[in-house]
Amino acid sequence: FTADELQRTKFPSRVSDDLDLDPCKSDLVMGDIAMSRETYRRRSRQAKTGTGFTLTDRGPRFHRQRRRHRHRERAGKNRRRTRAATARPERLWDHAVIPYEIEANFSGDHRALFKQAMRHWENHTCIKFVERGFEHQHYIVFTERPCGCCSFVGKRGNGAQAISIGKNCDKFGIVVHELGHVVGFWHEHTRPDRDAHVDIVNKNIMTGQEYNFNKLTDEEVNSLGLAYDFESIMHYARNTFSKNTHLDTILPQEDNASKRRPEIGQRVRLSQGDISQTNKLYKCPSCGRTLLEPNGLVSSPELVNSVTPPAEGEHCEWRITATHGERIVLNVTELDIYESDNCETDYIEVRDGYWHKSPLLGRYCGTGRIPEMLLSTGYRLLIVYRTSSNQNGHIGFRAYYEAVCGGDVDQEEGVLQSPNYPDDYRPNKECVWKITVPVNYQVALKFQSFEVENHDNCVYDYLEVRDGHDAGSPLLGKFCGYRTPDDQRSSSNKMLVKFVSDSSVNKPGFSATFMKEYDECQKPDHGCDHECVNTLGGYRCECNIGYELHSDGKKCEDACGGVIEASNGTITSPSFPDLYPSNKNCIWEIVASPQYRITLNFTHFDLEGNNQDCEYDKVDIHSKMGDNTVRKHGLFCGSYLPPIITSEGNSLRIEFSSDNSVQKSGFAAVFLTDKDECAHSNGGCQHICKNTVGSYSCACQNGFVLHPNRHDCKEGTCTHQISAPLGEINSPNYPDSYPSRKDCAWLFTTTPGHRLKLIFNDFELEPHQECAYDHISLYDGDSTDAPTLGRFCGAKVPHPILSTTNRMYMVFKSDASVQRKGFRAAHSTACGGRLLATGRTVEHLYSHAKYGDQNYENKEDCDWLVEAEAGRVRLRFLTFELEHEQDCSYDYVELFDGYDDSAMPLGKFCGNQLPGEFTSSSGSLLLRFRSDDNINAKGFSAAYSAVDVGEDSATAAVPSVPEVRTVSSSHQRDRKLRLHRH
């Protein structure tokens, strides 16, 4: 892009779709639970209203600020007896199906461990963990992040979401525990009713970890009607986050019967309470189960228990799960089900997969009509048994199933596993798979894990791979032992894979993926700019030296970074305006001629993070000085444009870095070099030389004014009018001694509705008990006629000075003798305060001091008490634009008809609709403005005055009940800063 294109074009902001792939970046972590901002805010509101304990932010290592889409949550109307299960239905996984992926960096042992943990959940509940397919929009990803073991509670609903299994977390019980969070469970000890069952010993908790023991509220957890579960795998241990392992942080209360304290914190298995809780939460059928055995019987409850079916009928599900590479044979041996039309009401239904949308293999009813043997195409089979009241007198059905391995496999890709994987394979098994992929392709086989009984010649247990379908086809390899075999590839579209086990010594076996393979690089449409490299099951693009791969994975672009010696030009993040790549680090060093300076202007800026932390993606800018020292200009991230930056020397260093998740559109900047006229003889200036783009200017020290020749300085008057929202002032000639016989004045003015604050950072005047000699005097208004705020001298620093109005006047006087260093002070603004409404004029107030120039800041906390000189207060909003939220819980304005918030509320407002006009019922009105810690908008302005008690105020009627008004707003400022030569 040219400089002109960058300054004329408005590029859209973009963000990658992996917001929940790094739990470490969540807004908060409670133990191993990652929380989104919506949960954090809701809990913060609950804490303020007394419905729960305060949930504190994480320490610096984990605390994050991120903008997220937020939804409105409402608590139930009635308080409930609670278990620590999510109360939010949108957090439950649809149909109890949890799709998953496992990142490629995990070893075969880790993959086996994860699958064992998932099978443990499946074995006891109706939860179904399935490999993620294209049809699955929301799914979990097993990953390893710096936060160690952590995950979100329930389904996030933003696509992929991470379950992080870090080092020392790769234990069966811990993975089962983390999956419990994924399913939708909080920690058991955070239930609202936990104080009736356990005691929290706060003095023993590690400093900074207290928030892990906060209670949840009824808004977060569901009732389910189950008792507190000391044995839950979701319960903390007695010494979790303890200052010392022998000190208790959670102490179970004694059982009334046994007088013993229950054990807590087991990480071995799901408790019976965990199982019951899950089945209730997901409304699992009351009969049936998940079957993981290689064979077995399936019978209706009437046959098993010889009982009369319930009057309302039965609903049972059996979920049969084998291993990849196996299929399931089902033989129905008995059938006695009430025969309805088309088997609509009473039936046994068999589906070729894991859920109700899987292909139907058959639906059966009637008596004695035994269906033929059914065979699944994959490794899962679902049996559904439904009856009505008509079933009375019938005995149901009985069926036998068996998992069989091997067979013809006509698929483009899939998975093969030894029987019973990841547990030990069974003895005396022989499985032969004949894989066929489309013509003109090869078959590729890639192993994830491999552990088969070892022998030098593989004569006991082994895996055999052949280049074709026949037993006599060329042998590609015969494998056993513990070394993962290399990738295998056939010469045609056929491959034979044979697994054999003998009668002794069983091992976990193998897991492998197969896929169709061909050399994509031979086709002209591979899309690579430079080099195409064929890989197993795919290909990748590479770039020539001096270039790097675009974030689209195909185009090549100039490598980022490098030394730039041009007098002007542009810099953009890699792949701009598309998403920049992850894990990128680029360093540009712009070098100008000696005595020249570099000015950098950002025209687009959109990086992950915020302007406070910049912990993820960032731009770091330094000036490089002649003595090889550097001076930092700033660290930038987020979506606000950095200020225009001018180097302090002739070299400017710009470093961009991104982490491994959440990419955005990046940045673009233009730069130019300009001669620093101040570098030689101070530019001819007597006091201060200020370099500007294309020119320079002279300035004088405090107490002096510029001579008409624009270079020299002469002593001037000492009167100052200051309207900037913040800045510094100092005595004449500071830090040298101030002159004698000096009389100076400062008039500070800020935005109406705001006050002025003055903080002295250095103070040294001639001392006197009554400050009769050298002194400063401050007044609460625009002249010495206003009420005095103080008179100060000597060496004691005055206390901070705060005005009550938007004007403050300060006077400094020195006599003929004894001069000292003087003073230095910082002035700023403070919102809120008392405002006087008169009937003579209409006054104004604004949400923040920089209204009209910038959005309001985070965490504004302002109260204005408007009092009528006589009569009542009338207030009318002129402009209004705050962050939108349906309940106005984030940023809002609130009005009260009186002196404080105990008065009748007149309304709570957010969004961008004008609230209108209000008249108080007495002589005062309280206006409150609050903002949270992100997403800001333009703010508001209002006019107020006093009205007579008898004046008609029909147009300003006070609402009879508090109202909340919100309208969605999308405020965006467009800043275009251009660089011009003079």
Catalytic annotation, residues? 178
Q: Hey, which residues does 829 pair with through a beta bridge?
A: 756
Cα angle value 885/888/894 (rounded, 5°): 150
Rounded Cα–Cα distance for residues 957 and 69 (Å): 36
Rounded Cα–Cα distance for residues 101 and 350 (Å): 27
Rounded Cα–Cα distance for residues 512 and 504 (Å): 23
Q: Hey, which residues does 430 pair with through a beta bridge?
A: 500
Are the C-beta atoms of 510 and 451 separated by less than 8 Å?
yes
Rounded Cα–Cα distance for residues 909 and 892 (Å): 5
Which tokens belong to 519? 């050399």
Instruction: State the sign of the Cα–Cα–Cα–Cα dihedral 932, 934, 935, 937.
Output: positive
Which tokens belong to 665? 């559109």
Q: Could you tell me how far CA 770 lies from the centroid of its own chain?
A: 59
Rounded Cα–Cα distance for residues 833 and 361 (Å): 75
Please report, in range form, the residues annotated as the binding site: 177, 181, 187
DSSP summary character for residue 242: B
For the chain, the C-alpha Rg in angstroms (whole number) is: 37
Q: Could you tell me how far CA 329 lies from the centroid of its own chain?
A: 46
The secondary element (H helix, E strand) that includes residue 33 is: strand 33-35
Which tokens belong to 811? 């006077």
Rounded Cα–Cα distance for residues 150 and 146 (Å): 10
SS3 652: strand
| Exposure of 176 in the CB half-sphere (CA atoms within 13 A) | 24
Strand pairing of 347-351 and 374-375?
unpaired
Burial class (CB in 10 A: 0-12, 13-18, 19+), 382: buried
Q: CB under 8 Å to 207, separation ≥6 — which residues?
A: none
SS3 90: helix
Which tokens belong to 522? 């031979």
Rounded Cα–Cα distance for residues 115 and 117 (Å): 5
Are the C-beta atoms of 562 and 585 separated by less than 8 Å?
no
- CB neighbourhood size of 470 (10 A): 11
Rounded Cα–Cα distance for residues 489 and 585 (Å): 37
Rounded Cα–Cα distance for residues 434 and 416 (Å): 11
Rounded Cα–Cα distance for residues 491 and 486 (Å): 16
Rounded Cα–Cα distance for residues 574 and 580 (Å): 5
Please report, in range form, the residues annotated as the binding site for Zn(2+): 177, 181, 187
Burial 53-71 (b: 16+ CB within 10 A, else e): bebbbbeeebebbbebebe
